[in-house]
A and B are shown apart, each in its own frame.
Chain A
Amino acid sequence: MSTLALAFDLVARWEVLLAITLAAVFGLFVGAIPGLTATLAVAVLVPITFHLDPIAAVGAMVSCSAMAIFAGDIPAFLLRIPGTPASAAYADEGYKMTLRGEAEKALGASLLFSAVGGLFGTAVLMLAAPSLAEVALKFSSFEYFWLALLGLTSAAFVSAGDPLKGLASLLIGLSASTIGMENPIGTPRFNFGSIELLGGVNFIAALIGLFAVAEILRYALKPSNNPHSVPQTSVGNPFRAWGKMLKTYWRNQIRGNILGVVVGALPGAGADIAAWMAYSISRRFSKQKEKYGTGHVEGIIESTSANNAALGSAWVPALVFGVPGDSITAIVIGVLFVHGMNPGPTLFLINPENIYAVFLIFIVANILLVVLGWGAIAVSKRILIIPRRLLMPVILAFCVTGAFAGNNNTFDIGVMLCFGILGFLMEENGIPVAPCILGLLLGEVLESNFITSMLKADGDLFAFFSRPISAGLGILTLIIWLFPLIRTVQALRVRRQKTA
């Protein structure tokens, strides 16, 4: 108890609270701009944290990343332009709600369940960090290969309207991910002699292109086909609306939280993948499957619960073994070192008040998320009032700047434009763009874990089933894949019997 009191003293100081709040506002701002990710927000904070005391430094990074992941939903829902990759899975769903005048409801749901998810992730971090980290250590390339395949399966659910075209989109994304030399062997592929393409397609530039630039192109090319501004309904007292949603969708929330925590704790998978998998699971088991894709809050709730829960549990392997759970914790580990809080099991034994202070900050940050987030929703809603003919050029300016800023490279502006045209053509032909993003995200993971597994096993395919967790994941994947096939065969047999 005295440890907790000590930790409380560490956190309840004005410079710590000020750092957390300022970082939170900064995170909201960065996350809401298309093309700027939560990782970038945290990276920018790094030089500033050197001058802060350890707890304030870690607190700033925690609150900044939590805000940025939520804020990515704001442009995703209002303009169908995801602010961060983690929002891409359900951007369409939220945008459809906005078109119905339910922007506030959608964003409110995202905010509440982000905060609850974050708190759940924190609870797991506090109670189960060491044992969860042990599980994460059992994952090698075999397990990650199956996990990536499971992740890809969600493409089928995101594009349930036309699975074949969803598959086509996924394959476009996977193929684009093979460009460059970021493959296990390090051989340059499909770069056509370009040095810039050696590093592969810049994911952020592609994301901005597929969503934002494609949207602007559509607006420009098809003036007769633009949604007129929809009168937005207010949800009134947010707490009453939240109470109702919690009551209806608590199952989704808990399932999303658990999935997020598990996926987040694995180094090599993160909040983005958690959001995708949660969306597809929610759709698969929903009683109202037909409503998905038309602007249904259920899928949003489950995936937003997952991505913020993943954010907390990504700290598990980072704190216990110094192994980053995602790109954000990779940066955090560096900062912890600088402040003498070297990650490792001793972090929990020597001066445990430090680590408890970090946990307390997680709680503070998630409560702060609700307050600041609600303010951000109220402000950003006004974007919808701005006429599109003025808004679209400004968004394009942000996109160009964002694509440039990632690498300080004009080449990525070209990448963004190419994916913008590609995204426009795809959607015109009924090919959804979301699976393409998933393919880009997972292509490298899938390939490297497949190839390294084959190298380790000297080409023995059975090795994918020779380890307990790997075998379990593999069988699960195969069942999910074969299930629709079995159903079709059965249906055919039934039909044949009827005609006979």
Chain B
Amino acid sequence: MGIVKLLSAAAIAAATMTGTAFAEYPEQTITIIVPWSAGGGTDAAARTIGTILERDLGQKVSVINRTGGSGVVGHSAIAAAKPDGYTLGLITSEINMMHWMGLTELTHEAYAPLAMMNEDPAGVHVAATSPWNDLGAMVEDIRANPGKFKGTGTGIGGSWHLALAGLLNELDISADALPWIPSKGAATGLLDIVAGGAHVAPVSLPEAAALAEAGKLKTLAIMSNQRAENFPDVPTVEQAIGVPWSQGVWRGMVVPKGVDEAIVEKLSAAMEKIYKDPEYADFMQKRGFGLRYMGSAEFGEFLGEEDASMGVVLKAIGLAKQ
């Protein structure tokens, strides 16, 4: 009898203690895992989020880079972290591609989403000397001469590749019509466009801004619902050819699944506050990153929808593993 009483008392005590622990969250250092290397765009965004979060929550926030395997290593590390709310992660579009390509079993379902913090729509860039002056001309030329023109700007199956392949797929143009030349990154791909090695690069607008300004590139369209604030002259895909199509790369904050609801809510609210913070907006604006926010629930829905549409595109271009 006595023992049962003691145990239940201990259980109640433990429950109240953990209860107060939640109320006092956060009480130790918070870690943000970034699946990409230090110095890159995702890293810079994570460090800015970390700095503001540290100020808002009054608790030290450290950013860790877990790189390698085209993001697989870092994304897995976020999912495998202890779900105590002290390990956060900044995930990127790749999470919805790598499992289709058979690189990992991991999907977005392993996370509890907090908020989408940014999205950069893809642009359609061609060399300044290119005969194409609008998106319609380019698309019809590709349709008429399958295999003649080549695209570049990222690795095979990278976000930018899928953005353009998805658009062509939407227009019923076969994936083989525009063979893809893999490149190490957007900058390398753009240089190849200028040097005449390939014909179109669907990368983000800020990445191409300097070369466009130098008169080496022209931008035919932006894959978004509305024109970009910094590039008001570039039409959207719908304005150019009448087909609605938006695609880009995004970054969002998550915690591993299993974190206490109250903590998820608290962190989610913290993310919204960061997004509205002028310091964050100022940083993103200067760095040329697109701003887009989605709350926890909306971001969760978005992840599911995007995962499905990525599956369609990857299957269409034959990169999905069966």
* Direct touch of chains A and B (CB < 8 A): yes
Which residues does A use to contact B, with CB under 8 Å? 39-40, 42-44, 46-47, 50, 137-142, 180-182, 184-186, 188, 195-200, 202, 267-268, 320-324, 327, 330-331, 334, 337-340, 342-346, 407-409, 448, 451-452, 455-456
Q: Is the CB of B191 within 8 A of A140?
A: yes
Q: Which of B69, B155, B187 sits near A196, CB closer than 8 Å? A: B69
- Distance in angstroms between the alpha carbons of A330 and B196 in the assembled complex: 23
Query: Given contacts A198-B69, A407-B66, A452-B183, is CB(A268)–CB(B76) below 8 Å?
Result: no
Provide the residues of chain A in CB contact with B37, threshold 8 Å. Answer: 43
Query: Given contacts A140-B195, A407-B68, is CB(A334)–CB(B287) below 8 Å?
Result: yes
- Distance in angstroms between the alpha carbons of A440 and B16 in the assembled complex: 57
Provide the residues of chain B in CB contact with A337, threshold 8 Å. Answer: 206, 286-288
Q: Which of A40, A267, A340 sits near B187, CB closer than 8 Å? A: A267
Q: Is the CB of B150 within 8 A of A342?
A: no
Q: Is the CB of A407 within 8 A of B183?
A: no
Query: Given contacts A195-B104, A267-B188, A409-B66, is CB(A456)–CB(B216) below 8 Å?
Result: no
Residue of B nearest to A343 (CB): B210
Q: Which of A180, A184, A198, A456 sits near B198, CB closer than 8 Å? A: A456
Q: Is the CB of A321 within 8 A of B216?
A: yes
Q: A140-B195, A452-B181 are in contact. List 6 more A-B contacts (CB 8 A).
A: A46-B44, A195-B68, A321-B211, A321-B216, A452-B182, A455-B182
Provide the residues of chain A in CB contact with B190, threshold 8 Å. Answer: 323
Query: Given contacts A185-B182, A186-B70, is CB(A342)–CB(B210) below 8 Å?
Result: yes
Provide the residues of chain A in CB contact with B184, threshold 8 Å. Answer: 268, 448
- Distance in angstroms between the alpha carbons of A184 and B189 in the assembled complex: 12
Q: Is the CB of A320 within 8 A of B73?
A: no
Query: Given contacts A198-B68, A199-B70, is CB(A345)–CB(B183) below 8 Å?
Result: no
9 tightest Cβ-Cβ pairs between the two chains A and B: A199-B68, A322-B210, A198-B69, A331-B39, A344-B210, A140-B195, A140-B197, A43-B38, A43-B39
Which residues does B use to contact A, with CB under 8 Å? 37-41, 43-44, 47-48, 51, 64-70, 72-73, 76, 101, 103-104, 150, 155-157, 179, 181-184, 187-188, 190-192, 194-198, 206-207, 209-211, 213-214, 216, 283, 286-288
Q: Is the CB of B181 within 8 A of A456?
A: yes
**CB of A455 to closest CB in B, whole Å:** 6
Task: Jot down 27 A-B pairs with beta carbons below 8 A, ordered by A.
Answer: A42-B39, A46-B38, A46-B39, A46-B44, A50-B48, A50-B283, A140-B192, A141-B192, A142-B197, A195-B68, A196-B69, A198-B68, A198-B70, A198-B72, A267-B188, A267-B191, A320-B210, A321-B214, A323-B211, A330-B40, A337-B206, A337-B287, A344-B209, A346-B213, A407-B66, A407-B67, A409-B73
Chain B CB within 10 Å — which of A320, A340, A409 has the most? A409
- Distance in angstroms between the alpha carbons of A327 and B310 in the assembled complex: 31
Q: Is the CB of B39 within 8 A of A39?
A: yes
Provide the residues of chain B in CB contact with A141, threshold 8 Å. Answer: 192, 197
Provide the residues of chain B in CB contact with A43, threshold 8 Å. Answer: 37-39, 43
- Distance in angstroms between the alpha carbons of A44 and B104 in the assembled complex: 30
- Distance in angstroms between the alpha carbons of A358 and B287 in the assembled complex: 20
Residue of B nearest to A340 (CB): B286
Provide the residues of chain B in CB contact with A322, threshold 8 Å. Answer: 187, 207, 209-211
Q: Is the CB of A199 within 8 A of B69?
A: yes
**CB of B146 to closest CB in A, whole Å:** 13
Q: How many pairs, one residue from A and one from B, have CB atoms within 8 Å of each other in the complex?
A: 151
**CB of A265 to closest CB in B, whole Å:** 13
Provide the residues of chain A in CB contact with B40, threshold 8 Å. Answer: 330, 334
Residue of B nearest to A180 (CB): B69
Query: Given contacts A46-B47, A186-B70, A196-B73, is CB(A137)–CB(B191) below 8 Å?
Result: yes
Q: Is the CB of A408 within 8 A of B66?
A: yes
- Distance in angstroms between the alpha carbons of A327 and B157 in the assembled complex: 23
Q: Is the CB of A195 within 8 A of B72?
A: yes
Provide the residues of chain B in CB contact with A180, threshold 8 Å. Answer: 69
- Distance in angstroms between the alpha carbons of A455 and B206 in the assembled complex: 28
**CB of A247 to closest CB in B, whole Å:** 41
Q: Is the CB of A184 within 8 A of B192?
A: no
- Distance in angstroms between the alpha carbons of A42 and B179 in the assembled complex: 37
Query: Given contacts A181-B69, A198-B68, A198-B103, is CB(A137)–CB(B213) below 8 Å?
Result: no
Provide the residues of chain A in CB contact with B67, threshold 8 Å. Answer: 199, 407
Provide the residues of chain B in CB contact with A46, threshold 8 Å. Answer: 38-39, 44, 47
- Distance in angstroms between the alpha carbons of A40 and B39 in the assembled complex: 9
Provide the residues of chain A in CB contact with B216, threshold 8 Å. Answer: 137, 321
Chain A CB within 10 Å — which of B192, B197, B198 has the most? B197
Q: Is the CB of B182 within 8 A of A196?
A: no
Provide the residues of chain B in CB contact with A452, threshold 8 Å. Answer: 181-183, 197
Query: Given contacts A199-B68, A323-B191, A448-B182, is CB(A456)–CB(B39) below 8 Å?
Result: no
- Distance in angstroms between the alpha carbons of A329 and B73 in the assembled complex: 25
Provide the residues of chain B in CB contact with A334, threshold 8 Å. Answer: 39-41, 44, 287
Provide the residues of chain B in CB contact with A343, threshold 8 Å. Answer: 210
Query: Given contacts A344-B210, A408-B65, is CB(A186)–CB(B192) below 8 Å?
Result: no
**CB of A331 to closest CB in B, whole Å:** 4
- Distance in angstroms between the alpha carbons of A267 and B184 in the assembled complex: 11
Chain A CB within 10 Å — which of B103, B179, B283 has the most? B103
Query: Given contacts A323-B187, A339-B286, is CB(A408)–CB(B64) below 8 Å?
Result: yes
